[in-house]
Chain A
């Protein structure tokens, strides 16, 4: 187990290096000269000499590999340089915006856990009942709801008409309720469907028949025996959604006028602030890879017998 963890962790290093090189090339070929933008910020009529001076000051005069090493070392020292949109240190921006998005995503994950598992269990327990059919019908549409539209609908009904919430974000946890709910609905619907079919395929296994023969009730079999065995695909997907949710939160942040890392990334892209953008993208990729890794570990912990199957493939 320990050896496996170390092996997996090491195997992520080349992928991360690849991701960072890809992002860096994006900076290098974005066509906008950061030195010129910063020089012109201080002085509209910046002379070429001044721009050149800024370039040297910011260490942008080196060759591509040199600049890459400088930028990548930022992930260890915390110094990514200056953002050309906010004129602050990129690390400061990220430190300010990241917790907001993390809160939003965290709350969405909480909604997902709380809402999807009971529904899936009920669907599997009462297979082909009206409840099951209804849930399946609703979830297939729910998976296709554009989150930004759902966000607006929630705002229209709950904020504009009912006045339970405000359209502009409220301080504290209340401001997160609507965006996180809108963000998580498609995820919830997807997970309900997946978990239901995972539970059903487990329910057709021999050990379930044996448990039935022993006289255990269906509910008990479902909760005590099948539940755990049906979890691995859900854990995998759940962890995969994490990265998607961070980016999806960019959309929610635009709808609910929240300032988080997602909207920061988009505004950085729109204003060609490629250093900030690439830094954000690498951070999101790190979170994504880490989440997949954690999901993998949870699965091995839940069902150690997967390990054997996994090594074969």
Chain B
């Protein structure tokens, strides 16, 4: 498996990007030349120098340091969200398949309601109700996306439940819990991991979109979307300020997408990859 991944160039590029971003997020304080929040109005739009390798922004803050710290927000919010979403998806998805007909119908109906609301709308509404804050962003995105995860797990699980090995396990007296944890979940994991990886890209984009719209994070945060918003007022004089954060978002999201799609090709080669 690992051998197959390493042989696929697309997967390797994706992995390298993911590793680089994760590493940046972890050791941002060591890499950053300056404090990302240190304001120095004298250095407003300062040119690149040895102290400030990528210059300064409208408040004289070090652009490079802010970009490096931005990785922390992106990773630090999206990874916990994905962890929670996967747990919710696996729990509710398998529950709806194995929990009987009533459970299935009720869960399906609730999913229908949430799926007919675009994710961003749900997120915006939740943040509007709860107010700003990290935890609220996490809640907002989870409420917006849980139904999709549940649906995915349910679809995968339904296919697996029809297979002979499940029947064999049942005949040999396997309990319901054991069936789910020992047989069902391990077998839907490969497809689910692909789905999770590509969802990270969506989540990263969504977090930046929230920050860009001024929802969820206090102004002046060194999140990439928020930096773009701050820079949008100087589009005439300093357009380069707008370029950097966007490139960071794009590369990070693309890293996860590249890896996810390559993983899908590897895991499901020969099958219908639609």
Contacts and interface: CB of A to CB of B under 8 A. Distances in A.
B142 to A, nearest CB: 15
Interface string B123-147: 0110111000000000000000000
A144 B118 contact: no
Of B117, B118, B243, most A-chain CB atoms within 10 Å = B118
A146 B128 contact: no
A288 interface: yes
B121 A284 contact: yes
Interface string B246-260: 100110011001100
A277 B122 CA distance: 11
Interface in A160-198: 160, 167, 194, 197-198
Of B112, B127, B253, most A-chain CB atoms within 10 Å = B112
A141 B272 contact: no
B59 interface: no
A30 B128 contact: yes
A22 B209 CA distance: 24
Contact of B254 (A140, A152, A246, A285): A140
Interface in B182-205: 201, 205
A160 B274 contact: no
Contacts of A146: 205, 208-209, 212, 225, 228, 246, 249-250, 253
B239 interface: yes
A26 interface: yes
B117 A19 contact: yes
B214 to A, nearest CB: 7
A94 to B, nearest CB: 15
Nearest to B10: A140
Interface in A107-147: 140-141, 143-146
A168 to B, nearest CB: 11
Interface residues of B, number: 43
A255 B112 CA distance: 32
B121 A247 contact: yes
A156 B235 contact: yes
A153 B113 contact: no
Contacts of A285: 116-117, 121
Interface string A26-38: 1001110000000
Contacts of A16: 116
A201 B209 CA distance: 35
A278 B165 CA distance: 47
Chain A interface size, under 10 / 10 to 19 / 20 to 34 / 35 or more: 35 or more
Nearest to A280: B121
A1 interface: no
A288 to B, nearest CB: 5
B17 to A, nearest CB: 11
Of A15, A194, A233, A289, most B-chain CB atoms within 10 Å = A15
A254 B274 contact: no
B214 A270 contact: yes
Contacts of B214: 270
Contacts of B205: 144, 146
B246 A152 contact: yes
B273 A197 contact: yes
B116 A15 contact: yes
A244 interface: yes
B121 A265 contact: yes
B116 A289 contact: yes
Given A152-B242, A251-B212, 4 more contacts: A156-B239, A246-B118, A250-B124, A277-B128
24 contacts: A18-B110, A19-B116, A22-B113, A22-B117, A30-B128, A31-B129, A144-B205, A146-B209, A149-B242, A152-B232, A152-B235, A152-B242, A152-B246, A156-B235, A197-B273, A201-B274, A246-B118, A247-B120, A247-B121, A250-B120, A254-B212, A266-B215, A269-B124, A284-B118
Interface of A: 14-16, 18-19, 22-23, 26, 29-31, 140-141, 143-146, 148-150, 152-153, 155-156, 160, 167, 194, 197-198, 201, 233, 243-244, 246-248, 250-251, 254-255, 265-266, 269-270, 272, 274, 277-278, 281, 284-285, 288-289, 292
Q: Which 5 A-B pairs have the closest CB atoms?
A: A149-B246, A269-B128, A144-B253, A18-B113, A156-B239
